[in-house]
Amino acid sequence: MSTSAEDLRTIALEEFATAGYAATSLHRIADLAGLSKSSVLYHYASKDALLEAAVAPAIEQISRILETLATRPVTKESRNEFIIEFVDFLLAHRLEVHLFINQGPSLVDVPVVDRANELVQRLAEFFASAAPTTEHRMRFGVALGGAAYMLVAQHAMGFESAPEDETRSALVTILSELLASVPVPAHQE
Amino acid sequence: MSTSAEDLRTIALEEFATAGYAATSLHRIADLAGLSKSSVLYHYASKDALLEAAVAPAIEQISRILETLATRPVTKESRNEFIIEFVDFLLAHRLEVHLFINQGPSLVDVPVVDRANELVQRLAEFFASAAPTTEHRMRFGVALGGAAYMLVAQHAMGFESAPEDETRSALVTILSELLASVPVPAHQE
DNA sequence: ACAGTTTCTGACCGATCGGTCAGCTAGCGT
DNA sequence: ACGCTAGCTGACCGATCGGTCAGAAACTGT
C-alpha cells in the first residue's frame, strides 16, 4: 500500500478548499507532497480525478445519511437526532463541505460536485418540505452556509480555533435553534 | 462619461463572485462586455485593479457603518438597529460580500481584500466583546457566512429567488434570533 | 477640414497551466 | 542474476494566462 496517493488526496483537499480549485496548480500540490508534477499525474489521471478522489468519501457518507433519512418518518425527535448527526458530518468533513458550498457553482462540469449539489438540494427539500416558505428555506441555507464558513474560516475571523467538543456543542445549539421553528410534516402512524 | 468602465466593473464583480477570481479570465470579462481584452486593460491597469474598483464601493460603505458604530454605545436597541442596517448592506452588496467571505483568504495579496478581512474582524469583535465565548463568536460567524451564502446561492439550492422584501424580512428575523442571546457590554450613562 | 484626445484593437511577449511520454530507479519474486 | 512491475522524473507539448505596445477608429472642439 502506497502512502503517497493518500497524502496527495489530503494535501489536494486542503489546498482546493482553502485556496480554491482553479487557483491551485498541480505543481503546488506536488511541491507540498515533496514530489514532481509528473508523479501526481501518475497517481491520478487528471486534476479532476484528484478532486473527485479527494471528496469522494464525504459524498458517500452524506449520501448514506440521506438514504437512512428517507426511510424514517420525519418528526421533531428524528430531526434533532439528524442535526447532531449532521454536525458530526460537518466537523469530520469541513474541508469538503467548504469546497462544495463555496465553489460548487463554478465546478459544475465535475460529476462528483454535481452530485454533491444535488444532495444539498435534497437536504433543503427535507427541511422545508412541510412549509416551503422563504424564511424556512433561508433558515436551512443560513445554517448550512454559516456552519461551512465558520468551520474553516474561524481562524481568519480573529479567534483561535476552540477545542473540538466546544465547537461541536455550540454548533448543535445554534443549528437546533435555527431549524427548530421549521415545522415537520403531519403524518399518520 | 464612459459607460464602459462601469459596465466592466459590474460584469467583473458578477464573475469574480460567482465563478471565482482566479477562474475568471480577462478574456471572458471582455467577451461578456463585448470588448477586447486590450480594452479591459485600457480602462483598468491590471486584473487586481479591476477587482479593487469592483469592490471599493462596498468597502467604503461598510467602513462608514462601522465608524458610526464605534461612536454610539452598544445596547440591545442600537444592536437591533444595526442588524437592520447590516441586512440592507448585505442585500445591496451581496456579490461583494460573497466574494470576501468565500475568497478572502486566497486573495490576501490584494490590499483592498485585506482591508475587508480586517473589517470583518472588527465586526466579530463588536458582537463578541462582552462575552467572547466560542458559541457567541460562532453565532456571528454563522450569521455572516450563512447570509452571504444564501444571498447568492439560493437559486442553486433549488428554490427560485423570492421577492426582495420577503428575503429582507426573513433575514432580519433570522439574524436577530441568531444574535439575540449574545450579551451586550455593561456600560454607564 | 483639421488636429487632438479618447477609445479600442490585433499582434505579440514571457510565464504558467494541465497533460503526455520515454526512460530512470528501486524493490520483489523466482 | 534475472525480469517484471510500481514509483518517479525531466523534457516537452499546445493552450491559456496577464500584460505590453504600436497603431487604427471614432469622437471632440475649432
pLDDT tens digit string along B112-129? 888 888 898 888 888 777
pLDDT score for B102 = 86
Give the pTM.
0.87
Task: Give the whole-angstrom CA distance, residue A17 versus residue B169.
Answer: 32
Q: Is the predicted pLDDT of residue B139 greater than 70, yes or no?
A: yes
pLDDT score for A168 = 94
**To which residue does cell 509528473 refer?**
A38
Render each residue's pLDDT in chain A as its tens digit; 189 residues: 466 788 999 999 999 999 999 999 999 999 999 999 999 999 999 999 999 999 999 999 999 988 888 888 778 788 888 899 999 999 999 999 999 888 877 887 888 888 888 888 888 888 777 778 888 889 999 999 999 999 888 776 767 777 889 999 999 999 999 988 777 776 544
Closest alpha carbon to B154 in A35, A105, A128, A141: A141
Angle at A110 between CA B150 and CA A116, to 5 degrees: 45
pLDDT score for B95 = 94
pLDDT score for B186 = 67
- Determine the number of helices (DSSP H) and then strands (DSSP E) in chain A: 9, 0
Task: Give the whole-angstrom CA distance, residue A161 versus residue A176.
Answer: 22
Helix segments in B72-133, DSSP class H: 76-92, 94-103, 111-128
Task: Give the whole-angstrom CA distance, residue B31 versus residue B87.
Answer: 33
Q: State the burial class of residue B144 (Cβ atoms within 10 Å of its Cβ: 0-12, 13-18, 19+).
A: buried
Of A93-102, B33-42, B132-141, the least confident: B132-141
- Distance in angstroms, CA of B8 to C1' of C7? 14
Cβ contact (<8 Å) for B174 and A138?
Answer: yes
Task: Give the whole-angstrom CA distance, residue A18 versus residue A14.
Answer: 6
For strand D, the positions having any atom within 7 A of a protein Cβ are: 6-11, 16-22
Q: Where do the domains of chain A lie, and which CATH numbers do they carry? A: 5-43 (1.10.10.60), 55-183 (1.10.357)
Alpha-carbon Rg for chain B in angstroms = 18
> Which nucleotide is closest to A34, CA to C1'?
D8
pLDDT score for A124 = 84
- Distance in angstroms, CA of B80 to C1' of D9? 62
